[in-house]
């Protein structure tokens, strides 16, 4: 039977976080180590979250931020889960944290982002990574016999670990940590007005974005939902025709938002995206309140978007930023951003036209290394997705987010009239009386700095705005009937019926 440690023994602190998934594995590992003699060598505080309480040590289900900081300041050894905020808190208080990342295969998280993040930090010597019980036992023994190896320099000192830390990992972790801890650097004083174009793909969002981008006080930036992968990581072409990292506009945006794009780890951002920005999370994002773990992830995610939008506002000098991402899950997440004045333009196009467009092969000119194509769907599957995606934006309106529905066909029929209505909805300064770009349905498009989207975003010069009814003759009648049947209720709601189905 293990003995209790006297009060002058070193303090071991374990923190598993507040996620609703129980982290029983690490609690059990440490509990057994304590029972096998560790309890006589250390005092132990175990924050166990939603797992079962341990049988040894001072068990605390949750810790306030103040209590956590106090205990980290007193601790000789800290065992942490793989969350970026907790890891960086450990390092700021002088600890080389012993990290056991949550594993989705064990039911401890929704995906493996903690594993990926922790392994990357371990390669740079910034944590002591333990992925097995034996590894944790060995590392705890080493930490008690060689405590100097588990200390790092705090602020104001130069630490070899910090010097070795790659800028993307360090800055991404610091940003995420700052957002969760409440020290939000470079926040916008006034909410950034964002016109979010939502709906299903191939509904004309690129055309609408380009038209809006020609208005005074409006800056269109493309589909930011793909920014982290296609632009920050893969350096695909900006709408101006230059690689993203060579574009002066985006370089300045990155400097203002994050101190430079080198300070953003695209893989870490994509890992965060997977636990926030997915359609399956929309029921949680639409609820009046989110569970604590989800709320903190959403806050981190949309906080980084708010910094992006604010930087665009500063660089462009415009009052409104147009994001044509279309994804409903991103719009639902952004509704929680206090720094964003979100106004959604729900763009719809008749389902047979959308289905026909998805069946065509379209080259992605922004990918220059090798030929790449936009995804394709069968007409029937496109109809199913058309229903689903548009229904999500119906829900977004129902939960109180400002939403204006726009029919693509109406934009083509009366572009000036539709834009005038959008200007009123967005409350764009100076734009109501300044729609001179149209001359008998012809618009002059200038260069935009857009990321991702339809190849049309590269178009400049004169463009005739006219109806595109090729689907009426090109989409086989049988497939058209199936698509219209699948989407019948919403087609009626959007005014596309009555119409002959043959």
- Residues 317, 299: Cα–Cα separation, whole Å: 26
Predicted confidence at residue 201, as pLDDT, reads 80
Q: Indicate whether 4 pLDDT > 90.
A: no
Give residue 176's pLDDT band: very low, low, confident or very high (50, 70, 90).
low
Convert the pLDDT of each residue in 339-355 to its tens digit: 999 999 999 998 888 88
Task: Enumerate the H helices of 408-450 as residue ranges.
Answer: 408-413, 415-426
Which is nearest to 208 in space by CA: 225, 218, 224? 218
Domains of the chain: 11-165 (3.40.50.2000), 192-493 (3.40.50.300)
The token pair that represents 288 in the structure block = 């009046």
410 and 347 in contact (C-beta within 8 Å)? no
Mean pLDDT on 362-383: 66
Mean pLDDT on 165-175: 53
The token pair that represents 168 in the structure block = 């993307």
Predicted confidence at residue 430, as pLDDT, reads 65
Q: Indicate whether 170 pLDDT > 70.
A: no
Rounded to 10 degrees, what is the CA torsion of 128, 129, 135, 139? 10
Predicted confidence at residue 368, as pLDDT, reads 62
Predicted confidence at residue 164, as pLDDT, reads 44
Neighbour-count burial of 43, counting CB atoms closer than 10 A to its CB (0-12 exposed, 13-18 middle, 19+ buried): buried
Q: Indicate whether 108 pLDDT > 80.
A: yes
Residue scoring higher pLDDT (482 or 215): 215
Convert the pLDDT of each residue in 428-479 to its tens digit: 876 655 665 666 678 888 999 999 887 888 888 888 887 777 666 677 777 7
Predicted confidence at residue 367, as pLDDT, reads 60
Q: Is 170 left (phi over 0), alpha (psi -120 to 50) or beta?
A: alpha
Q: Indicate whether 370 pLDDT > 90.
A: no
22 and 54 in contact (C-beta within 8 Å)? no
What percentage of the chain exceeds 70 in pLDDT? 82
Q: Indicate whether 1 pLDDT > 60.
A: no
Predicted confidence at residue 432, as pLDDT, reads 55
Mean pLDDT on 51-70: 86
Predicted confidence at residue 383, as pLDDT, reads 82
Predicted confidence at residue 369, as pLDDT, reads 65
Predicted confidence at residue 2, as pLDDT, reads 41
Provide the terminal-to-terminal Cα distance of the chain, rounded to the nearest Å: 82
Residue scoring higher pLDDT (464 or 318): 318
Least confident among 91-105, 209-223, 481-495: 481-495
Predicted confidence at residue 83, as pLDDT, reads 82
Task: Say how many C-beta atoms besides its own lie within 10 A of residue 62's C-beta.
Answer: 14
Mean pLDDT on 41-69: 88
Predicted confidence at residue 181, as pLDDT, reads 41
Mean pLDDT on 184-188: 41
Per DSSP, the three-state class of 95 is strand
Beginning with the edge strand found earlier in the chain, give each strand of the sheet holding 218-220 in spatial order. 218-220, 320-326, 192-198, 340-348, 403-407
The whole-chain average pLDDT of the chain stands at 84
The pTM score is: 0.63
Q: Indicate whether 107 pLDDT > 70.
A: yes
- Greatest mean pLDDT among 161-170, 223-232, 373-382, 469-478 lies in 223-232
- Residues 73, 93: Cα–Cα separation, whole Å: 6
Mean pLDDT on 132-144: 95
CA atoms within 13 A on the CB side of 164: 13
């Amino acid at each position: 039977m293990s003995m209790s440690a006297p009060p002058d023994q070193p303090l071991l602190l374990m923190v598993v976080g507040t996620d609703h998934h129980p982290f029983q594995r690490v609690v059990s590992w440490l509990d057994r180590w304590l029972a096998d003699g560790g309890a006589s060598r250390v005092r132990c505080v175990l924050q166990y979250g939603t797992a079962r309480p341990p049988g040894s040590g001072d068990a605390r289900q949750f810790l306030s931020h103040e209590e956590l900081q106090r205990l980290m300041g007193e601790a000789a050894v800290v065992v942490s889960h793989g969350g970026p905020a907790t890891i960086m808190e450990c390092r700021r208080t002088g600890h080389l944290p012993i990290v056991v990342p949550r594993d989705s295969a064990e039911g401890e998280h929704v995906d493996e982002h903690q594993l990926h993040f922790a392994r990357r930090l371990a390669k740079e010597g910034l944590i002591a990574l333990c992925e097995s019980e034996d590894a944790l036992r060995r590392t705890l023994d080493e930490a008690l016999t060689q405590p100097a190896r588990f200390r790092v320099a705090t602020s104001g000192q130069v630490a070899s670990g910090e010097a070795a830390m790659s800028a993307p990992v360090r800055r991404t972790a610091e940003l995420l940590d700052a957002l969760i801890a409440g020290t939000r650097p470079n926040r916008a004083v006034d909410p950034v007005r964002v016109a979010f174009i939502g709906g299903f793909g191939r509904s004309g969002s690129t055309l609408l974005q380009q038209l809006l981008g020609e208005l005074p006080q409006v800056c269109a930036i493309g589909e930011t939902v793909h920014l982290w992968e296609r632009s920050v990581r893969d350096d695909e072409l900006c709408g101006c025709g230059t690689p993203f990292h060579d574009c002066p506009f985006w370089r300045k945006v990155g400097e203002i938002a994050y101190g430079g794009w080198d300070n953003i780890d695209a893989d870490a951002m994509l890992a965060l995206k997977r636990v926030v920005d997915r359609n399956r999370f929309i029921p949680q994002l639409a609820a009046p309140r989110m569970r604590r773990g989800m709320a903190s992830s959403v806050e981190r995610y949309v906080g980084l978007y708010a910094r992006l939008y604010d930087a665009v506002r500063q660089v462009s000098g415009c009052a409104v930023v147009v994001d044509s991402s279309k994804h409903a899950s991103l719009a639902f997440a952004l509704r929680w951003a206090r720094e964003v004045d979100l106004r959604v333009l729900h763009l719809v196009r008749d389902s047979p036209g959308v289905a026909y467009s998805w069946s065509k092969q379209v080259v992605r000119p922004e990918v220059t290394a090798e030929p790449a194509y936009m995804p394709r769907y069968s007409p029937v599957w496109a109809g199913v997705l058309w229903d689903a995606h548009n229904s999500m934006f119906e829900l977004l309106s129902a939960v109180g987010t400002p939403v204006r529905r726009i029919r693509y066909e109406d934009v083509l029929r009366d572009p000036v009239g539709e834009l005038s209505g959008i200007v009123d909805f967005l409350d764009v300064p100076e734009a109501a009386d300044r729609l001179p770009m149209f001359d008998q349905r012809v618009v002059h498009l200038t260069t935009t700095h857009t990321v991702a989207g339809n190849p049309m975003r590269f178009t400049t010069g004169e463009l005739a705005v006219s109806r595109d009814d090729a689907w009426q003759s090109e989409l086989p009648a049988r497939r058209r009937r199936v698509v219209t049947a699948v989407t019948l209720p919403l087609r009626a709601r959007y005014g596309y019926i009555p119409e002959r189905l043959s």
